[in-house]
Each structure stands twice: as structure tokens, then as C-alpha cells.
Chains A and B, each alone.
Chain A
């Protein structure tokens, strides 16, 4: 891994760029968390929003700031830090590109936020046409995406510089992973950029009258599923390449880690139809093909699970653990940098199983658009991913600000993680259960005209409110820890842990860095899965829809 050439600290100038991303991310956490609290309270039926604020306006805030803003800012910040740490300090040009990206994303976020607050964009974060938001909302989201491309360019340029300077040597694992995720993000966002720039913006500006709804949704979901892998892969970066160092063990296999990331690049994108299984206008054979492609990501997921637990077990046994599960006791449970992401890993087991149900061709009808789905992604994104991001923050924020994670903060961090697990068990568990009974997602409190079925859902909605309130307490704790680590923790050196490969593992094959090959296969798979259905869609398109503002 070229450890000898690594710089052990992220340069202060790069650190400032990363921290700028993190400030926005944690402000988003505060705002989005508050919105989430208001939603579960409204849905309990015991609370009404004051000042004429609408439920769906709050829901739009929640989705946009947590699903798009928090994630994109945190991920880009973390990836820049990982590249700077493992491939060397960014050049001035790369850093300027990063700052341009940061400011574009921030400007876009402010534009979208103002439109949401003015109630001009109560269309949720998925903005399905023909509900029509203000053009500035679409423009703001475009800025967020374009800004993320600038951040991505900084990462790719830093990688290319390292690549040229080290011919024949595999790139540092964390850099490699950041590059894979960035490439996937760029290929995926082309879909959403296309629908926004060529369909929704001209339509919301009144330049064209009508919009092709199915085409727009299809382009959105071409982006929408890789979006969830864009959230997940940075968590995998931590699990594969950072957690082994934190526990004092080794990376199980550098090559297999790279292989699994390449498989995610290939199979994350040509799968959007599994979000559109119950939609008219798409031939079910093409839906099935994308269902099959969707399930291929199970292979790298199984590899990841194996690799993580192999690292844990090897470490435990190297410390003299005996018996089938003796190694569990050897893990550093008192270290929040390990235990909080570990809660996230555990949550990914039921989360992954739920995902398999969601994408199953026929079973999808049972749960599609029910609150089961909301329960599902609160296990994936809002537990597995976000607890890992919190776990990263515990050491990365003090590393960048020249401070230390104190024992007291470490303890608080563990309490935060445990509170999160308890709150999410209530909230997500109740969401899954109510969803199976038919309760819809994205809906304000309703008794549905006194329907007996709807009455059965209400106890689950109260359980969601209890869980959501506990989660909100955990968010307050997290914000307190973040502010402490950013501004008040004692000065010192906090390590940026980077895993080392187990002795017996050999050098990674260079073919993993043959980007022409991998991007080529990615493009071929996308063309295979989408070309004919898209042609069908366009050839047989209905007249298109005028815009509606129904809020």
C-alpha cells in the first residue's frame, strides 16, 4: 500500500476544506432531525403543526437536507480527507477546485432551501412531475450536483497525479475506493441532471408546456438507486480500510476489497426499474432483467460481510481468544470509533434482507410505497451509513481541528450510538410492521374516513413517535459532540487510522485500475438495461403533462 510514502496527517489547508463540508453537513443534520421529529409527532395524531406549516413542506425539508445535503457534503468531505491522507496533500489547483465545488453546493442548498421555506417547492426530494416546483428549486439542486462534480474532479485529479508518480504500484486502498465511488456518482448523476436540465427546468420556466412524466421518473431512478450506493460505499471504506486499524487488526484482503468496489460500480446503476416495478408503460421482462442485475450486488455485499467478520475473528484469535465466539469479547467495545459503526454494521443485516424483499419482482407489490420502505431506508441510510459517518467524525473532526477525542466524549458517543439503536428499533420496527398492514409512506396523519384498517395502524404510529423522539435526543447528543470536537476539545493529535493489509495477502492486481475496462463494462450494462425500454417509452409516449401546484 506504499505506507512509507504516506503522509500521516491531513494538511491543514485540506482540513479546512473538509471541515467546511462537515459544518454544512451537521447543520443539515440539525435541521433535518428537527423536521423528522415534527413528522413522527404529527403522524401520531396527537400533535398539529403550528403557524400553518404544512406536513409535506416539513417532509420536503427532511428528505432534501438529510438525503441529499447531509450525505453529499459529508461524503465529499470524507473522500477528500481520505485522498489527502493516503495519496498526499492536494495541489493548490485541486484545492481551489474543491472550494469551487463546496461553494456551488452551498449556494444550491440555499436556493433550494429558500424555495422550500417559501412553500414554492413542496414536491419532496424526489420532485416527481407533474407536480411543479419553482424553477429556482430545480436550479438549486442542479448546483448541488454540479458542485459535487467539482469535488469529484479534485479527487480524480489527486488520484491521477499519484497514479503517474507511482507506475506499477496499486494506489492506496482508500484513494482507490474514493475514486470508484466518485466515478459511480458521476455516471449516475448524468440521469438526474438530464431530466432536470432538459425536462423540468424548461417546463418550470414556461419554455415548454408539457413534460414526459414516465421518462422523467425513469431518469430520476437511473440516478436514485446508485444514490443509495453512493451513501453506502463511504461507510464500506470505513469498514474495510479503517475499522481494522482501529481495533488493532489487519485488512483481511486488499484485492477482494477492490474487487467488491468494482462490482458495486458495475451493478449499482442499471437497476433503477426495481423502484418502478408497479408502474405502467414498462414491459415486465425489462423490469425482471433489472431485478436480476439488482440482486448481483448481493455478491459484493456477501464478500464485505465475510471480510469484516474475518478481520474481527482473526484479530480476536491473535489475542488468544478460544471457542467459536470467544473473539467477540476481544473487540474494543469501549471505543466509540469502533462500536458505533459496529451498530451500523449489525443493522445492515436486517436492512439488506428487507432490501431483497423490496426488489423482488412480485413481492414488491406488498410493500411498494408503504411505510415499510421508509423503515427499510432508516436502517440502511439512517442507521448503517449514518452511524458509520458519526463514527468517522469522532476521530476525523479532531484530527482536522488539531484536537482530541476525550474519554468523556468517547463515552457520550457510545451513549449516542446506543440511544440511536434503541430509537431506531422502535421507529423502524413499527414502520416495517405497519407497512405490512398497508400503511402508506409519505402521508400525514389520517383516519381515512374512519376505516377500521387505518385504525389498526395508529398504535404503530405512536411507537414511531416514541422511537423518533429518542432518535432526536441522539441527534442533539451528536451535535453536542461535533461542536465539542470542532471548537472546544483539548488540543492534541488525533490519529487518522488507515488499515494495513494482513501479511499473507499479496499485492492487488493492477487490472483493478484499468478504468477504461470498468467504465466500459458499466456503460455496456447500462445500455443493455435501458436502451430498448427508453426507446419504447419515447416512441409510445402519451401527450405529456402540464404542471400542477397542488399544495
Chain B
């Protein structure tokens, strides 16, 4: 099968760029630990309110962990609990969330906190809040009539 010289150059360049790109992603994921939220823990979605840590939604200071705080959210059609929360500036926080009913999309607008909440599973993401201000939390996966009314708020304060 004949391949034009220019096409060979084009493909070598393209495949080379692809390899560099994939290496960057790979190093970021496996060496720097920048993995997408992929918590493997499960939960009985019908008993979320009675099971720790979801029986006490909100911000909690923790000791002896890689992060300073745990921020617990419970989603249900069509609201998040808590409806509003304050986080100190610069805090390293593990956001832990789950749903009591259908799938929701937990997104903190303007940040990289963006994870699917699926019934029976816990979702987690560790992040640092290094910019003060008010952040909107919304639902970005269709969950029914009131999907676009589902909100909460994170206030990052000094």
C-alpha cells in the first residue's frame, strides 16, 4: 500500500503530538495523582440520612488526614443539603456527596468540582479553595421537573 511522503510526515507529526499529549495526561493522572472523581465506595441510597457521614451534612474539621476538612452533601430531587456553607480560604477539603434518589450532577460553577452522583455510590473529590468568593452549586444532570431549581452555595471566606 502506497503512502505519499507528505502524508507520512503529517502522520508522524500527528502521532508524535498524540503521544506527547497522552504522556502529559498519564503523568498528571498517575504521578501527580490528578485522577477524575472515581470513588469506589457504595451505600444504601434509601438509608443515606441515617448513615455516616451523610447523617450530618455540612463542613467538618478532620485530624490526621491529607485534607483539613470534609464537606458532606446530600442530593435529592430537587435540593442539596446543606443549602449554604462557609469554607475558610485556603482550606484543603474533601467533598463527599451522594444522592437519595435519581442521578444528579454535582457541580460547583467556576471550579473543577464536577462529579456525577449515582444512587448507591459515594462520590468524592479533594480540592483546595484558594480564591475567596461565592460559588454556585447546581445540578448538571437532568433529574426531573425541578432540575434547574436545584442549588446550593459555597462561601469561601477569609
Cβ of B112: which chain A residues have Cβ within 8 Å of it?
A: 365-366
Name the residue on B nearest A59 (C-beta). Answer: B142
A485–B20 alpha-carbon span in the complex (Å) = 49
Q: Does A255 contact B (CB under 8 A)?
A: yes
The answer to whether B147 and A443 touch across the interface, beta carbons within 8 angstroms, is yes
**Chain A residues numbered 482-514 whose CB sits less than 8 Å from any CB in chain B:** 504-506, 508-509
Of B54-62, B66-74, B86-94, B116-124, the one touching chain A = B116-124
Q: Does A199 contact B (CB under 8 A)?
A: no
Q: Which of B42, B45, B120, B124 has the most CB of A within 10 A?
A: B120
A370–B115 alpha-carbon span in the complex (Å) = 12
The answer to whether A548 and B102 touch across the interface, beta carbons within 8 angstroms, is yes
The answer to whether B116 and A279 touch across the interface, beta carbons within 8 angstroms, is yes
Task: Give the shortest distance, in Å, between B3 (CB) and chain A (any CB).
Answer: 7
Given A283-B40, A295-B21: A445 touches B11 (CB 8 Å cut-off): no
The answer to whether A279 and B38 touch across the interface, beta carbons within 8 angstroms, is yes
Q: Does A145 contact B (CB under 8 A)?
A: no
The answer to whether B120 and A213 touch across the interface, beta carbons within 8 angstroms, is yes
Cβ of A505: which chain B residues have Cβ within 8 Å of it?
A: 2
The answer to whether B107 and A362 touch across the interface, beta carbons within 8 angstroms, is no
The answer to whether B119 and A280 touch across the interface, beta carbons within 8 angstroms, is no
Q: Which of A128, A256, A443 has the most CB of B within 10 A?
A: A443
Q: Does B65 contact A (CB under 8 A)?
A: no
Given A283-B40, A548-B102, A550-B77: A295 touches B148 (CB 8 Å cut-off): no
The answer to whether B148 and A445 touch across the interface, beta carbons within 8 angstroms, is yes
Given A288-B26, A310-B4: A278 touches B120 (CB 8 Å cut-off): no
Q: Does A452 contact B (CB under 8 A)?
A: yes
A303–B8 alpha-carbon span in the complex (Å) = 10
Q: Render A525-551 as a binary contact track against B, CB cut-off 8 A, 1 for contact.
A: 000000000000000111111001011
The answer to whether A303 and B11 touch across the interface, beta carbons within 8 angstroms, is yes
The answer to whether A550 and B123 touch across the interface, beta carbons within 8 angstroms, is no
A129–B8 alpha-carbon span in the complex (Å) = 47
Name the residue on A nearest B4 (C-beta). Answer: A310
Cβ of A1: which chain B residues have Cβ within 8 Å of it?
A: none
Question: How many chain B residues have a CB neighbour from A under 8 Å?
Answer: 70
Q: Which of A253, A280, A548, A550 has the most CB of B within 10 A?
A: A280
Name the residue on A nearest B120 (C-beta). Answer: A542
Indicate which residue in A130, A252, A369 contacts B114 across the interface (CB closer than 8 Å). A369
Given A368-B114, A543-B120: A310 touches B140 (CB 8 Å cut-off): no
A448–B135 alpha-carbon span in the complex (Å) = 11
Q: Does A377 contact B (CB under 8 A)?
A: no
The answer to whether A302 and B14 touch across the interface, beta carbons within 8 angstroms, is yes
Q: Render B131-157 as a binary contact track against A, CB cut-off 8 A, 1 for contact.
A: 000111011111111111101010000
Task: Give the shortest distance, in Å, between A231 (CB) and chain B (any CB).
Answer: 22
Q: Does B103 contact A (CB under 8 A)?
A: yes
Cβ of A291: which chain B residues have Cβ within 8 Å of it?
A: 22, 25
Q: Does A444 contact B (CB under 8 A)?
A: yes
A85–B105 alpha-carbon span in the complex (Å) = 48
Given A298-B14, A303-B11, A369-B107: A284 touches B38 (CB 8 Å cut-off): yes
Cβ of B117: which chain A residues have Cβ within 8 Å of it?
A: 280
The answer to whether A302 and B144 touch across the interface, beta carbons within 8 angstroms, is no
The answer to whether A545 and B40 touch across the interface, beta carbons within 8 angstroms, is no
Q: Does A292 contact B (CB under 8 A)?
A: yes
The answer to whether B119 and A56 touch across the interface, beta carbons within 8 angstroms, is no
Cβ of B142: which chain A residues have Cβ within 8 Å of it?
A: 56, 59, 124, 128, 131, 442-443
Of A150-158, A184-192, A433-441, the one touching chain B = A433-441
A513–B2 alpha-carbon span in the complex (Å) = 18
The answer to whether A280 and B39 touch across the interface, beta carbons within 8 angstroms, is yes
Q: Which of A278, A445, A446, A541 has the most CB of B within 10 A?
A: A278
Q: Which of B29, B119, B124 has the most CB of A within 10 A?
A: B119
**Chain A residues numbered 241-289 whose CB sits less than 8 Å from any CB in chain B:** 252-253, 255-256, 259, 276-284, 287-288
Q: Does A299 contact B (CB under 8 A)?
A: yes
The answer to whether B107 and A438 touch across the interface, beta carbons within 8 angstroms, is yes
Name the residue on B nearest A442 (C-beta). Answer: B142
Q: Render B84-113 as a binary contact track against A, CB cut-off 8 A, 1 for contact.
A: 000000000000000001110101011011
Cβ of A370: which chain B residues have Cβ within 8 Å of it?
A: 107, 140
**Chain B residues numbered 1-34 whose CB sits less than 8 Å from any CB in chain A:** 1-4, 6-7, 10-11, 14-15, 18, 21-22, 25-26, 28-30, 34
Task: Give the shortest distance, in Å, between A280 (CB) and chain B (any CB).
Answer: 4
The answer to whether B147 and A362 touch across the interface, beta carbons within 8 angstroms, is no
Q: Does A449 contact B (CB under 8 A)?
A: yes
Name the residue on A nearest B103 (C-beta). Answer: A128
The answer to whether A213 and B103 touch across the interface, beta carbons within 8 angstroms, is yes
Cβ of A59: which chain B residues have Cβ within 8 Å of it?
A: 142
Cβ of A439: which chain B residues have Cβ within 8 Å of it?
A: 109
Task: Give the shortest distance, in Å, between A210 (CB) and chain B (any CB).
Answer: 10
16 contacts between A and B (CB under 8 A): A131-B142, A280-B39, A284-B29, A299-B18, A307-B7, A310-B6, A360-B25, A361-B34, A366-B112, A438-B110, A440-B140, A443-B140, A453-B135, A543-B44, A550-B77, A550-B101
Please name the 4 residue pairs, one residue from A and one from B, whose CB atoms are nearest each other, closest first: A542-B120, A550-B144, A438-B109, A369-B140
Other A-B contacts than A306-B11, A369-B107, A442-B141, 16 sampled, CB-CB below 8 A, are A56-B144, A130-B101, A130-B102, A214-B118, A217-B118, A279-B115, A279-B116, A280-B118, A280-B121, A284-B29, A287-B35, A307-B7, A362-B29, A365-B113, A438-B138, A443-B142
Chain A residues in the interface with B (C-beta under 8 A): 54, 56, 59, 124, 128, 130-131, 213-214, 217, 252-253, 255-256, 259, 276-284, 287-288, 291-292, 295, 298-299, 302-303, 306-307, 310, 356, 360-362, 364-366, 368-370, 437-446, 448-449, 451-454, 504-506, 508-509, 540-545, 548, 550-551
